[in-house]
Structure 1
Amino acid sequence: MKKTITLIVILFCAISAQSQDVFINADFVSSYIWRGMDSGNACVQPSLGVNWKGLTAYVWGSTEFRNKNNEIDLSLEYECKSLTLYANNYFTQTEEEPFKYFNYNSHSTGHTFEIGAGYMLSEKFPLSISWYTVFAGNDYRENEKRAWSSYCEVSYPFSVKDVSMSIEAGFTPWDGMYSNKFNVVNVGLSATKELKITSNFSLPVFGKLIANPYEEQVYFVFGLSL
């Protein structure tokens, strides 16, 4: 796993050296809901990345305002026409489980490693289907066998006047981190709108209504982007 992290860092640096497109931004959210799971309270979520010829490398983080709960992710994405490939390294650290970043022991690490793929049908009908599977890291069932936790999502973007919207539905096919068997774990409706502050500055704000049928929970998240 150390070699994997080193490779991602090297690729990030290499893309940065070649790229003219570097981005940095941050979201402020009322709560952190990820794939239908409650992952934290109000927090700031910054990102830093680069784009080069369809390849994107970026670092994404999440830090709560009240508690010492942190997440830092390293990601690679490659987009070719309607197909996008993903490779993600998630690292989480909470007050209850203060994992060390460079501990890669699969049963005691705070890391999980995931690969995925997404496909958009067409620009005229932009329905997207994505699949993600954890292949390494701390991802085990109660019987100590690797869970191969997986998540599949279908999403469709649309707009209502000047509001960008999207609907999504996600399920897990088997026992893993999302559920103990096949279950629909995420149904969401999101909306994003540009609030014009001055003639030269607009502030994107967004809201998202999320339901997790498996956990019988409903969430509403409000956020803004810088």
Structure 2
Amino acid sequence: MKKQILLIAILLCSAFVQAQEVFVTADFVSSYIWRGIDSGNASVQPSLGLNWKGLTVYAWGSTEFREKNNEIDLSLEYEYKNLTLYANNYFTQTEEEPFKYFNYNSHSTGHTFEVGAGYMLSEKFPLSVSWYTTFAGNDYRENGNRAWSSYCELSYPFSVKDVNMSVEAGFTPWESMYSDKFNVVNIGLSATKEIKITSNFSLPIFGKLIANPYEEQLYFVFGITL
């Protein structure tokens, strides 16, 4: 395991040296809602990654301010024209389930592994359709069979004056982590605006109204990006 970690570290260092762009950001959110699911209270969500010839590699995390709940995700994206391919490794742990990061036993791990693809129709009509499926990790139905948890989302960006907005709708096609059968689990409207602080610095803020018809829940999230 130590050799594998060292090899990964060397590869990452090499990638950062050759990267066309390295980025680091952090969001501060009033609550953490993911694909219509309540996933945490007020949190800080940092990210660190790099871009290289259409390939994006990054780590993303979420840590609550009040509880010892956190998430660490490793993601790989490849964009070619209007098509984007995704590979994600999600790891979550809570006070009730303090999983160890290097435990990959499928029935006792905090990891799930997912692949996906997204396609934008055109620049003039930027409707995007995305599909994601969990293929490994702790993702099982009550009967012990793998759930193959899947999520499909349609999203459309637009702007109103100087506010960037987006509307989205997501559903799950069968029984999975999202629902007990086919259901619409996420309908959202988001808005992002930059607040000018000085002549050289602007602070992006965003708000998102989210409904989960399956759970009959409504959420509003406010956030700041640094």
- After TM superposition, the score normalised by the length of structure 2 is 0.96
Change (3 A) 1:189 1:119: same
Change (3 A) 1:127 1:174: same
What 5-or-longer segments of structure 2 have no aligned partner?
A: none
Answer whether contact 1:174 1:180 (CA < 8 A) is retained. yes
- After TM superposition, the score normalised by the length of structure 1 is 0.96
In the TM superposition, residue 80 of structure 1 has moved relative to its aligned partner by 0.2
How many matched pairs?
226
Deviations 1:127-155 (CA, angstroms, capped at 9, x unpaired): 00000000000000000000000000000
Task: Name the counterpart of 1:173.
Answer: 173
Q: In structure 2, what residue type is equivalent to 1:27?
A: D
What is the SS of the residue equivalent to 2:99?
coil
Alignment of structure 1 residues 22-37 onto 2, 5 Å = 22-37=22-37
Q: In structure 2, what residue type is equivalent to 1:166?
A: S
Q: In structure 2, what residue type is equivalent to 1:106?
A: S
Q: In structure 2, what residue type is equivalent to 1:18?
A: Q
What 5-or-longer segments of structure 1 have no aligned partner?
A: none
What is the SS of the residue equivalent to 2:17?
helix
Alignment of structure 1 residues 1-226 onto 2, 5 Å = 12-226=12-226
- Measure, in 2, the Cα distance between the counterparts of 1:225 and 1:15: 26
Deviations 1:37-89 (CA, angstroms, capped at 9, x unpaired): 00000000000000000000000000000000000000000000000000000
In the TM superposition, residue 96 of structure 1 has moved relative to its aligned partner by 0.5
Aligned-residue RMSD, C-alpha? 1.9
Change (3 A) 1:89 1:28: same
Q: In structure 2, what residue type is equivalent to 1:177?
A: M
- Measure, in 2, the Cα distance between the counterparts of 1:142 and 1:136: 16
In the TM superposition, residue 14 of structure 1 has moved relative to its aligned partner by 3.9
What is the SS of the residue equivalent to 1:123?
coil
In the TM superposition, residue 114 of structure 1 has moved relative to its aligned partner by 0.2
User: Identity across aligned pairs (percent)?
Assistant: 84
